[in-house]
Structure 1
């Protein structure tokens, strides 16, 4: 799930509801903690969380003693984040123009953001600008072509997944993390894959959103989308839903 998932199809408040559900899924907290460890977040470090959404990661980084700054281009999202974490440093800004001084941060984190960026190299150039020499960067995200969904109609499922991917600015950004970081001049690049599995109803809104998007793009018929959504709802009610989502975690170091 991403802070900007389905932004053209749902309101910010609906998106926050989806994000909150995703953050409660098994393994989500561990994945966030892994990203903080890769950043080396500890007392005295300064971290910018790009696309911070409702601010949970900013709050958790502060609990570790780091000095985080959360930025998000959605003003409503920042308003909600400020209401939840009133002492946090939260700012309205996008990935291309961060409101931070040169070499002022020891860490840069972007969780499920880069697939929404038309110019990932531009965002990484900005990351290089704000990171101090030896600073750490961590990118987290899903590859939009690799939603693994059990269904009675695999061909229809494939059509839905790929149609939704085609509506995203950079659906395959996560598989490009390593090369993007290398091309931007980062060093010590590593990549991990953590697969989240959902077998309950929590992700039904996400699945319905995939089908609705595919229908809006004329990739599947209205009847096909409705039938697929009904099947997934029935699977959830019968404890037979299966969604697996590989999450890619890339980490690197700014040149010293």
Structure 2
């Protein structure tokens, strides 16, 4: 198998995962809420940082915004341009955006800041590209706060925390308010939207965090197997329970 084929397969697998996430109960409503929090006038420019395959960019454009998608991944941008050929997608980093000073009225970042080692630097860049009075919206989950029912709560706690520890900035979402205040933003508000899952939809994510915990040495292979088997059985008989709190923070640039 060629390298290009392997890369293509990985991209398609990632796109399928992203599409599945976008289709989860409440996901579309949360995206819509983020657009409401931006409160953009018709025709205003907005940047979606970490745009991935571009769904939010397309939806913002449907609401008469001049949406710009920025992502670090050439693969994601290629997929986004294929799906939304009329949209504006650009290669760029959250800490070095391909935009001029005061170029946009809105800034949106969904599930991005947990991957950033320096959230303050990214918010300084957000301040630079936002026009005075511009709105910022940050969305994301706290990686230490997965609520999972299990017969072994101690092991579950170890698995959740071990997976969080493999994330660059796992508690960024709980810090959104203070990060925005530190960066000089005003009218800072935070909402929490909790997704509750009780079927097999999220089983791959659960077995994935157990695999990551085992790979990091936090649990043994036997513990991973047993915990994954329990969650798989719970999913089979309709007894799985996972709650994911998602934080949505909004603010205004002075």
**TM-score under structure 1 normalisation?**
0.94
The equivalent of 2:110 in structure 1 is 111
Bigger drift between 117-126 and 40-49 goes to 40-49
The equivalent of 1:3 in structure 2 is none
Q: Deviation of residue 12 (structure 1)?
A: 4.2
Q: 5+ residue gaps in structure 1?
A: 1-9
Q: Deviation of residue 11 (structure 1)?
A: 4.2
Q: Is the 8 A contact 1:18 1:206 kept in 2?
A: no
Find the aligned partners of 2:40 and 2:10 in 1 and give their Cα distance.
32
The equivalent of 1:132 in structure 2 is 131
The equivalent of 1:223 in structure 2 is 222
Find the aligned partners of 2:10 and 2:159 in 1 and give their Cα distance.
21
Root-mean-square deviation over aligned CA pairs: 1.2
Q: Is the 8 A contact 1:105 1:135 kept in 2?
A: yes
The equivalent of 1:5 in structure 2 is none
| 1:39 matched to 2:25 | no
The equivalent of 1:234 in structure 2 is 233
The equivalent of 2:91 in structure 1 is 92
Find the aligned partners of 1:211 and 1:12 in 2 and give their Cα distance.
23
Q: 1:189-209: CA deviations, max 9, x gaps?
A: 000000011112121221111
Distance 1:213 1:78, change over 3 A: same
Q: Deviation of residue 41 (structure 1)?
A: 3.1
Q: Is the 8 A contact 1:198 1:243 kept in 2?
A: yes
User: For 1:48-87, what aligned pairs fall within 5 Å after superposition?
Assistant: 48-87=47-86
Q: Deviation of residue 42 (structure 1)?
A: 4.3
User: For 1:175-190, what aligned pairs fall within 5 Å after superposition?
Assistant: 175-190=174-189
Find the aligned partners of 2:20 and 2:40 in 1 and give their Cα distance.
25
The equivalent of 1:195 in structure 2 is 194
Find the aligned partners of 1:150 and 1:241 in 2 and give their Cα distance.
7
Q: 1:67-115: CA deviations, max 9, x gaps?
A: 1000110111111111111111111211011000100100000001000
Q: Deviation of residue 17 (structure 1)?
A: 2.0
Q: Is the 8 A contact 1:42 1:64 kept in 2?
A: no
Q: 1:165-203: CA deviations, max 9, x gaps?
A: 001111000000000000000000000000011112121
Find the aligned partners of 1:76 and 1:156 in 2 and give their Cα distance.
36
**TM-score under structure 2 normalisation?**
0.94
Find the aligned partners of 1:209 and 1:86 in 2 and give their Cα distance.
33
Distance 1:164 1:11, change over 3 A: farther
Find the aligned partners of 1:121 and 1:115 in 2 and give their Cα distance.
12
Find the aligned partners of 2:13 and 2:122 in 1 and give their Cα distance.
27
SS of residue paired to 1:188: strand
The equivalent of 1:141 in structure 2 is 140
Find the aligned partners of 1:42 and 1:64 in 2 and give their Cα distance.
10
User: For 1:165-180, what aligned pairs fall within 5 Å after superposition?
Assistant: 165-180=164-179
Matched residues, number: 246
Find the aligned partners of 1:200 and 1:21 in 2 and give their Cα distance.
14
Q: 5+ residue gaps in structure 2?
A: 1-8
Distance 1:45 1:70, change over 3 A: same
